[in-house]
Amino acid sequence: MASYNAPFEIHVHGQVPLRADVTFEQLQEALKPLWKYAGARSLAAGSHSAYEEEPGIRFDAHEHLLQMCWTVAGDEDFRQSLDEMCMSLNELSQAGAPIEVTFYDTEFDEEEEAPDAQSRDDFMMLFVGPTPAAIMQVQRDLLVQDVINMMERHFDAAELGGVVAEVDKLFAQRFDALVSSLELGKPPRGSGGGHGGAAHGGGRKPRHLH
């Protein structure tokens, strides 16, 4: 359970499209690893963020959308809660979606630490979706966006078609490998599974506010 003396402030951010038939009760059960970690007895009680300016966890029943901009105090064991949450959300999701998770080191003070000291800040990107193909599609879209943003500093967008085609080829190979491994009853080689950290890194990231 989270503690006010925990070494991290953990920020969870993302929007997950849900199936039209998903109920609040189903979502509450899927998100139980989060609100239970926060020490709450229900989603309604645990949906509030540690920061008042953040909207927390919201279920938009009209748009069939889960919105998360939520911070909780915690430790490394929170990663297990994330794994459990992603597995449950896979079953409720309508399409693939990324979820950003940032660990802020609350015990690190840049002004007081030694010059060579490093914080334990970490950032990870999780993916959820109804099928492996849906998850790979959103992974592909994010990667293409990142690659284009980086390369447009040096090339015109019209020149990058070949790069995008190569990215698509890599994901096509990964999907083919996944299908083959499922047919053989073996875990896929090199696939990210139903969810996973696609990116890790230190350095503090700005919070997202909606």
Is the per-residue pLDDT at 67 higher than 60? yes
Reference 16, options 79, 63, 80; nearest CA is 63
Considering only residues 112 and 56, tell me which one the structure prediction assigns the higher pLDDT.
56
Average pLDDT over residues 28-41: 97
109 vs 50, residue with greater confidence = 50
**Residue 99 · residue 182 · CB < 8 Å:** no
For residues 9 and 183, give the distance between their C-alpha atoms in angstroms, rounded to a whole number: 42
Q: What is the pLDDT of residue 4?
A: 54
Label residue 62 by pLDDT band (50, 70, 90).
very high
Mapped onto helix, strand or coil, the DSSP state of residue 82 is helix
- pLDDT at residue number 16: 98
Question: What pLDDT, on the 0 to 100 scale, is given for residue 178?
Answer: 73
Q: Do the Cβ atoms of 9 and 102 come closer than 8 Å? A: no
**What pLDDT is attached to residue 30?**
98
Please say if the pLDDT value at position 193 is more than 60: no
Nearest 5°: phi and psi at 88? -75, -40
Q: Pick left, alpha or beta for residue 46 (phi over 0 → left; psi -120 to 50 → alpha; otherwise beta).
A: alpha
User: Which is more confident, 188 or 67?
Assistant: 67
Domain ranges of the chain: 8-129, 134-184
* Cα 153 versus chain centre, distance: 27
Cβ neighbours of residue 48 under 8 Å, at least 6 residues apart?
A: 56
Highest mean pLDDT among 3-17, 41-55, 137-151: 41-55
The DSSP-derived string for 42-67 is SHHHH-S-SSTTS-EEEEETTTTEEE
Mean pLDDT confidence for 10-39: 97
Q: Architecture of 8-129 per CATH? A: 2-Layer Sandwich (3.30)
- 77 Cβ partners below 8 Å, 6+ apart? none
